[in-house]
């Protein structure tokens, strides 16, 4: 069955898919997020958009096990635990709102706000409010709502975590833990609504070893000198994610 799934692709498609999976995995290991920006658009062209999203979630699951233990040691638990709980509470509410609110305008608004936030962070603007527990809980709820409603809850959460101006190890740890929680909850939702097919499991499983290997090298690069450019790369990925979401929304 695996051979039949891969046999339906030509060698060039397999090569391109493997390359973007490796690049995405490296970003996941290095900055803790950003793999979807690289992987999903390309796999959506090779397969379908829905299958690309599900495959990305499946290939990321083993890397959560790989990255989470170290990230949990470096993260600020007083930050991530309230944020995770509030985010999980927000996701089903956002999913319910999806039935009464158009998701596309929300994606546009969120993308614009994220771009503004990235610009302010790039100018080293200080956000003292981001250190408070109320802001963390509110950020988690908003991120969960946006994830359930428009599927783009990650960028606002990452932007908030970057605004805290903690050391790179703590910031990356916070991001890895939050994105791992977001991806896990998304996979559970996909399974509950019947989107996880045998084909998605096979193709995602085939991509997982490449993704995991790249995540390892990305994590290694962060530990051996990459932490110095971590913040700039994270801001760049946030900006590109917001811009690509805007372009797709209008297109």
Residue 100 in tokens: 């009464």
Greater model confidence, 157 or 211: 211
Alpha carbon distance 235, 87 (integer Å): 22
Check residue 126 and give its pLDDT. 61
Asked if residue 136 lies in contact with residue 142, where contact means CB atoms within 8 angstroms, the answer is no
Check residue 63 and give its pLDDT. 93
What residue spans define the domains of the chain?
A: 2-250
Check residue 133 and give its pLDDT. 80
Of 31-35, 120-124, 152-156, the poorest mean pLDDT is in: 120-124
Mean pLDDT of 15-25: 94
pLDDT in tens, 106-118: 778 778 888 887 8
Of 10-24, 57-71, 114-128, 213-227, the poorest mean pLDDT is in: 114-128
Alpha carbon distance 221, 216 (integer Å): 9
The pLDDT confidence band at residue 222, using thresholds 50, 70 and 90, is very high
């Amino acid at each position: 069955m695996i051979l039949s799934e891969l046999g339906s692709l030509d060698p060039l498609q397999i090569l391109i898919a493997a390359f973007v999976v490796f690049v995405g995995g490296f970003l996941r290991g290095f900055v803790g997020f950003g793999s979807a920006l690289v992987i999903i658009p390309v796999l959506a062209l090779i397969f379908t958009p829905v299958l690309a999203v599900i495959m990305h979630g499946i290939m990321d699951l083993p890397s959560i096990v790989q990255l989470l233990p170290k990230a949990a040691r470096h993260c600020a638990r007083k930050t991530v635990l309230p944020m995770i709980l509030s985010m999980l509470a927000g996701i089903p509410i956002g999913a319910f709102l999806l039935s009464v609110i158009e998701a596309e305008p929300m994606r546009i608004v969120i993308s614009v706000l994220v771009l503004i936030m990235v610009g302010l962070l790039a100018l080293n603007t200080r956000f003292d409010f981001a250190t408070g527990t109320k802001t963390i809980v509110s950020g988690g709820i908003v991120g969960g709502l946006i994830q359930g409603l428009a599927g783009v809850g990650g960028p606002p959460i990452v932007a908030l975590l970057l605004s805290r101006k903690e050391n790179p190890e703590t910031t990356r740890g916070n991001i890895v833990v939050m994105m791992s929680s977001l991806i896990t909850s998304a996979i559970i939702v996909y399974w509950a609504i019947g989107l996880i097919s045998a084909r998605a499991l096979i193709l995602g499983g085939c991509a997982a070893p490449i993704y995991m290997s790249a995540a390892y090298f990305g994590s290694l690069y962060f530990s051996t000198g990459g932490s110095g450019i971590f913040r700039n790369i994270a801001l760049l990925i946030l900006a590109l994610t917001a811009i690509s979401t805007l372009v797709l929304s209008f297109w």
